[in-house]
Structure 1
Amino acid sequence: MGRGGRQSLARVTVIVRAGAVPMWWLGVVAAAPGVLIPGLTGRRAGLYAGAAVFVLSAAAVALGRRRRYDGWAEAASRAGKFDYLQDRAVTLRVWRRARVWWLAGGFLAAAAVSFAVPFAGGAALAGAGAGLWLKAVLLGRRERAGEELLWVRTDWAGRGSPVGGKVKGFRTTGAEAGDAAPGGARRPREKAGRRERTSVTPPVRSRSS
């Protein structure tokens, strides 16, 4: 991976889990009509179908592109001394703003399906959110085991996937770098100030891409 100049890096797990919360809650809301409207199948059948769809959706998202993530993680190189570490909040905001219409469309589609088959459409969307969260957790376990965090260049990931077509690899830092814990969750406040300063310079908080 090229080392020319400073690069802006975003946490891989933060990008992965960026859609988890909005997709989960949009799915829950989209499934709500099933409580009042029996739809075409009835509530009981819709509930069973929704449960199955939730599990399948979560598993498919959690395991999707697993080999690509593992491959880039194994081949990751150390971040440069002067690379910028993008803040967790900035990474989340960039991803969600880029997908606001996609999320809105997914919600409307899920709500429409839930009117026909109660709970099913919302369960699919909520399951996808749960799958993203689980994927981030699994990557976080890898980060803890290796005692290093996974990052990707923001110009490669853009506003998309951390393993998209433009991505050529991951970078790593020590486990205390940045403001997000292994797995992408917000780092506890008492630890947030203890950032590693030996492998990278202090992160720039104003970078958004």
Structure 2
Amino acid sequence: MTRGVQGLARVAVVVRAGAAPLWWLGFFAAGIGVLVPGATGRRIGVLAGAALFLVAAAVVAYGRRGRYRALARTAARAGKHDVLQDRAVTVRNWRRVHRWWLLLAFLAALGTAFAAPAAGGLLLAGCGAGLWWKASWIGRLEQAGEVLLWVRVDWLRAGAGRPAGEAVKAYRTTGVAAGDAAPGGSRRRVAAAA
């Protein structure tokens, strides 16, 4: 029995796609937020923001790890007709789908500066740091299994871009040389010619 042709996106790349926008938008909002005195004062706002940064990073990084592990354990080998999506395409698609959520999160972080300066921005940046942390954990998972983890693009679309959402039934695997992203979703570094 042959499977149909499927587009596949790297799991780690999807996770990592939101990290940079959240990180930079968060720190930009925090920088603007520090300029506003706020109801609590700058010192309390920044200290609260630092605590929120750490909590958000930990919650995002450790969230749903059991689901990722379960999907990785039951992953099937990708078929020879499956199409592997480039890293840049995966990142662009994720950011296009989530651009309004990113904008709303940025505006909300700016708005919280009137109550607690910088706190909302640091919370947003913590979410970005947590996504980087989770992507690097997925990279270690891939290296331990000596495979790369991929998710079907149609399942990703149905699950609002969540690579471990309920719409995702299973992952696919390839060898570590496949695709243009290294384990963890970063750009693959090409060795310089001797």
Instruction: Say whether the 8 Å CA contact 1:33–1:115 is kept in structure 2.
Output: no
Quick one: which amino acid aligns to residue 147 of structure 2?
E
Cα distance between partner residues in 1 of 2:154 and 2:182: 23
What are the Cα deviations for residues 28-68 of structure 1, in whole angstroms up to 9, with x where unaligned?
01111233222111111111101100011111111111111
What are the Cα deviations for residues 144-165 of structure 1, in whole angstroms up to 9, with x where unaligned?
1111100011011115101122
TM-score (norm 1): 0.88
Paired residues, number: 190
Instruction: Say whether the 8 Å CA contact 2:33–2:110 is kept in structure 1.
Output: no
What are the Cα deviations for residues 47-90 of structure 1, in whole angstroms up to 9, with x where unaligned?
11011000111111111111110100111111111211000000
Greater shift, 24-33 or 182-191, is seen at 182-191
Cα distance between partner residues in 2 of 1:68 and 1:186: 25
| Residue of structure 2 equivalent to 1:196 | none
Cα distance between partner residues in 1 of 2:34 and 2:105: 20
| Residue of structure 1 equivalent to 2:6 | 7
Pairing 1:5-84 to 2, within 5 Å after superposition: 5-84=4-83
Cα distance between partner residues in 2 of 1:110 and 1:161: 23
| Residue of structure 2 equivalent to 1:194 | none
Quick one: which amino acid aligns to residue 32 of structure 1?
G
| Residue of structure 1 equivalent to 2:138 | 139
Q: Secondary structure at the match of 1:176?
A: coil
Is residue 154 from structure 1 mapped to residue 153 from structure 2 by the alignment? yes
Q: Secondary structure at the match of 1:152?
A: strand
Cα distance between partner residues in 2 of 1:8 and 1:101: 25
TM-score (norm 2): 0.94
In structure 1, the gaps of 5 or more residues are: 192-209
Q: Secondary structure at the match of 1:190?
A: coil
Cα distance between partner residues in 1 of 2:43 and 2:85: 46
Instruction: Say whether the 8 Å CA contact 1:87–1:179 is kept in structure 2.
Output: yes
In structure 2, the gaps of 5 or more residues are: none
| Residue of structure 1 equivalent to 2:180 | 179
Cα distance between partner residues in 1 of 2:96 and 2:33: 29
Instruction: Say whether the 8 Å CA contact 2:26–2:120 is kept in structure 1.
Output: yes
Quick one: which amino acid aligns to residue 4 of structure 1?
R
Cα distance between partner residues in 1 of 2:123 and 2:2: 42
What are the Cα deviations for residues 122-143 of structure 1, in whole angstroms up to 9, with x where unaligned?
0110000110110000010111
Cα distance between partner residues in 2 of 1:3 and 1:32: 54
Quick one: which amino acid aligns to residue 34 of structure 1?
G
Overall identity of the aligned pairs, in %: 61
Q: Secondary structure at the match of 2:110?
A: helix
| Residue of structure 1 equivalent to 2:124 | 125
